[in-house]
A = this chain, B = another copy of it.
Amino acid sequence: MITREHCAALDAADTLAHCRARFDLPADTIYLDGNSLGAMPANVPARIERALKQEWAHGLIRSWNDADWYPAPQRTGNKIATLIGAGQDEVIVADSTSVNLFKVLVAATRMRPGRNVILAEGTNFPTDVYIASSVAEMTGCELRCVDPDDIVAAIDDTVAIVSLTHVNYKTGKRYDMEAVTRQAHEAGALIVWDLCHSAGAMPVNLNRCAADFAVGCGYKYLNGGPGAPAFVFVASRHIEAMRQPLTGWHGHSKPFDFTHDYAPHPGIDRMLTGTAPQLGVIALESALEAFDGVDLDVLRDKSVALGNLFVELTDQELKGLGCTLASPRDAEQRGSQVSLGHAEGYAIMQALIARNVIGDFRAPDILRFGFAPLYVRYVDIWDTIAQLKDIIATDAWNTDEFKARKSVT
Contact = CB atoms under 8 A, between A and B. Distances in A.
Interface string A60-81: 1111110001100000000000
A225 interface: yes
B274 A230 contact: yes
A57 to B, nearest CB: 4
Contacts of A24: 53, 57
Determine the interface band of chain A, counting residues with CB < 8 A from chain B: 35 or more
Interface in A118-135: 122, 125-127, 129-131, 133-134
Interface in A197-252: 217, 219, 225-230, 245-249, 252
Contact of A64 (B57, B70, B259, B409): B409
Given A45-B52, A279-B283, 18 more contacts: A26-B57, A29-B60, A33-B60, A45-B53, A48-B279, A62-B358, A70-B408, A95-B274, A102-B245, A102-B246, A122-B260, A125-B258, A126-B249, A126-B259, A127-B248, A130-B249, A134-B245, A226-B278
Nearest to A52: B45
Contact of A279 (B63, B122, B125, B225): B225
B131 A248 contact: yes
A60 B33 CA distance: 9
A280 interface: yes
Interface of A: 24-26, 29, 31, 33, 36-37, 39-40, 44-45, 48-49, 52-53, 55-58, 60-65, 69-70, 95-99, 102, 106, 122, 125-127, 129-131, 133-134, 137-139, 145, 170, 217, 219, 225-230, 245-249, 252, 255-260, 262, 273-281, 283, 353, 358, 360, 362-363, 406-409
Nearest to A277: B227
What is the copy number of this chain in the assembly? 2
A126 B227 contact: no
A256 B362 CA distance: 8
Contacts of A127: 248-249, 274
A96 B69 CA distance: 17
Nearest to A106: B138
A262 B98 contact: no
Nearest to A132: B247
Contacts of A259: 126
Contacts of A275: 96, 217, 219, 226-227
Given A227-B277, A256-B363, A258-B363, A409 B65 contact: yes
A56 B217 CA distance: 17
Q: Which of A217, A283, A406 has most B Cβ within 10 Å? A: A283
A246 B134 contact: yes
B278 A408 contact: no
B52 A31 contact: no
Contacts of A130: 247-249, 252, 262
Given A49-B45, A99-B95, A249-B126, A39 B65 contact: no
B63 A226 contact: yes
Q: Which of A29, A61, A246, A258 has most B Cβ within 10 Å? A: A61
